[in-house]
Amino acid sequence: MLGYRDHFQITIKVAATTILLMGFFGGLGHYIDKKIDTFPILFIIGLVISFPIIQIVIYKQTKALLKDTKAPIIKKTK
């Protein structure tokens, strides 16, 4: 069973991953926009591209954490 520390660890990882990847892709788009004078087109595209990537990374991190903690799988009962 997941304890307080496990939930806190997941929360911190999700927040850090979201901030870092949105900052990276948004910053990259912003930088390229400034260079070719197309602001905010690539900035917005960078943010939109970052969302599915963030979801994949968070899924993999959470899956690995749950595997490490050996949390029981909850099954539906009739």
- Mutual angle of helices 41-69 and 4-36, in 10-degree steps: 160
User: Is residue 75 one of the residues assigned to a domain?
Assistant: no
User: Is residue 11 one of the residues assigned to a domain?
Assistant: yes
Q: Which pLDDT belongs to residue 69? A: 67
Say if CB 13 and CB 61 are below 8 A apart: yes
Cis peptide before 40 (omega within 30 of 0): yes
Rg of the chain in Å (alpha carbons): 18
User: Is residue 60 one of the residues assigned to a domain?
Assistant: yes
Average pLDDT over residues 1-6: 73
Average pLDDT over residues 19-42: 96
User: Is residue 8 one of the residues assigned to a domain?
Assistant: yes
User: Is residue 78 one of the residues assigned to a domain?
Assistant: no
Q: Which domain holds residue 28?
A: 4-69
pLDDT digits (tens, 9 = 90+) for 42-74: 999 999 999 999 999 999 988 887 777 665 656
Q: Which pTM was predicted? A: 0.77
Q: Which pLDDT belongs to residue 13? A: 87
Domain count, the chain: 1
User: Is residue 9 one of the residues assigned to a domain?
Assistant: yes
Q: Which pLDDT belongs to residue 19? A: 96
User: Is residue 15 one of the residues assigned to a domain?
Assistant: yes
